[in-house]
Amino acid sequence: PEDTVTSSFASFIRAARPEHLSPTVRQRSKRMILDSIGVGLVGSTTRVFDIALRYCRLYSSVAVSSVYGKPGVKLSPTLAAFTNGVATHSMDFDDTWHPATHPSGAILPALLAASQMLPPNTKPNGLDFLLAFNVGLEVQGRLMHFSTEAHDIPKRFHPPSVVGTLGSAAATAKLLSLSSAQCCHALGIAASLAGAPMANAATQAKPLHVGNATRLGLEAALLAGRGMEANPLILDDIPGCSGFSAFYSVYQPKPLSAPGEHHEFLLEKQDIAFKRFPAHLGMHWVVDAALSVRNLFINYAGSFSPSLIRTIMLKIPVSKYINRPFPSSEHQARHSFQFNACAALLDGEVGLGSFSESSIHRQELRELLDKVVVEHPEDNVANFDKMYGEVALLLHSGDVLTGKCDTFYGHWRKPLSKESLLKKFRSNASHVLPEEKIEAIITLVDNLENLSDSSQL
């Protein structure tokens, strides 16, 4: 069918060219690639990654694609994509967009694996790689804008398991130079492989959502390239027969305009949020608010003295899965407003070590958690573009100290500087790579357009 929403997406994937990427889009997407690799590298040190890797090594297959943080270990392309996707989300340290999703982890591992899979004389160059990455981003972003429900913190499906799977399929289809018809089928196949429930947030199963998104999108493109077909109207709103609309209660799709002078990539309009510490994005508001009020408290009392605090009041949006008064595991702690606020108050920072078992179960931290009371102001909505975090300390003296954060450092409205992003990457990568390799990756990504063989990445 012509002139459908689905066919417009397929045509866009096929027609996109490097010259359609503005300097802003290129620079922002290279920042995303660098950050995602660093997050994946440090994620390769986690238990959930080890579980995923051991599972994938059960299979005997053509092992051509590399695994984050494991020199000499290679897997089949799809399993490498899966494992690296798990690594990327294993600490909830990966980038976040609005409407809410984790875009890079769902597509970058698929492109890295596919680049190594292709024969030497057909390897995509760095510019092809960068273009495919941006096609995957654009498809995710456009799909998220089809539903007003998607603008708020999710309740039903974890977004990267939905839009990320189709973004991976689109990015890989572009890298593999599939025809428009094959791109259409790749999206349809990916829709049948998409979706994961939010109930598995704050568990070891959540990183599988990103691992599956990047793996299954790659598989969808490979299947479409080999002749498998799917519903050519998968993105259209067909009454009485749900396609992609099955994932959203409100769904109003629009055709995607052809790339060119009348099309502006979403990444041009809105930057990405990069996390300064490994936790759910909502935590970054309360941590900055907590650090602000902690400084006030030190100026007031001379030092941070928990015994002077009667009540810790958190004003946060309603979001059940990140409202966790007493988390008992690292994954629960990464999804707890209460824990992150109290850790910031107690330690003056939140970092990798904040989520260790010994840190989570400290008596002094537990005593602070006992003092927390939560309020949900009507104006504090569960939306990453509108929410705020407020932490108030009600002291035994009767005094009240308050810290509030409307936009944390790293949010798309307050982007990380180049220096901060590089510092994060170097810190993450240093857990598994020597300094010379870390610097080599930085140079490769910075000059990605000039790379003759993207599989070198």
pLDDT in tens, 225-238: 998 899 999 999 98
pLDDT in tens, 426-446: 999 999 999 999 999 999 999
- Alpha helix (H) ranges present in 303-397? 330-333, 337-347, 357-360, 363-369
Kindly report, as residue ranges, where domains of CATH 3.30.1330.120 are found in the chain: 281-405
Please tell me the predicted confidence (pLDDT) of residue 200: 94
Angle (CA) 244 280 310, round 5°: 140
* Rounded mean pLDDT, 188-217: 96
Residue-averaged pLDDT of the chain: 94
pLDDT at 136 over 70: yes
pLDDT at 161 over 70: yes
Check residues 72 and 107 and name the one with the higher pLDDT.
107
Please tell me the predicted confidence (pLDDT) of residue 228: 87
Q: How would residue 320 be classed by pLDDT, with cut points 50, 70 and 90?
A: confident
Please tell me the predicted confidence (pLDDT) of residue 177: 96
User: What is the pairing mode between strands 372-375 and 400-405?
Assistant: unpaired
| Percent of the chain with pLDDT strictly greater than 70 | 99
Please tell me the predicted confidence (pLDDT) of residue 253: 95
Q: How would residue 336 be classed by pLDDT, with cut points 50, 70 and 90?
A: very high
Exposure class string for 411-433: b at 16+ Cβ within 10 A, else e = bbeebbeeeebbebbbebbeebb
CATH assignment of 5-276+417-456?
1.10.4100.10
| Percent of the chain with pLDDT strictly greater than 90 | 89
pLDDT at 55 over 80: no
Instruction: Give the number of residues written for the chain.
Output: 457
pLDDT at 390 over 70: yes
- Reference 326, options 372, 276, 394; nearest CA is 372
* Rounded mean pLDDT, 192-220: 95
335, 337, 338, 344 alpha-carbon torsion, rounded to 10°:
100
Three-state secondary structure call for residue 398:
coil
Q: How would residue 3 be classed by pLDDT, with cut points 50, 70 and 90?
A: confident
Kindly report, as residue ranges, where domains of CATH 1.10.4100.10 are found in the chain: 5-276+417-456
Q: How would residue 240 be classed by pLDDT, with cut points 50, 70 and 90?
A: confident
Using CA atoms, how far apart are residues 33 and 110, in angstroms rounded to an integer?
Answer: 12
118-123 own/partner pairs: CB under 8 Å, 24+ apart: 118/176, 118/455, 123/453, 123/454, 123/455
Q: How far is CA 41 from the centre of its chain?
A: 15
Bridge partners of 315?
375, 390
Radius of gyration of the chain (CA): 22
Beta carbons within 8 Å of 435's beta carbon, 6+ residues apart? none
* Rounded mean pLDDT, 405-431: 97
pLDDT at 60 over 90: no
* Rounded mean pLDDT, 410-416: 96
pLDDT at 1 over 70: no
Please tell me the predicted confidence (pLDDT) of residue 56: 77
* Rounded mean pLDDT, 191-205: 94
* Rounded mean pLDDT, 302-313: 96
Write down the architecture of domain 281-405 according to CATH: 2-Layer Sandwich (3.30)
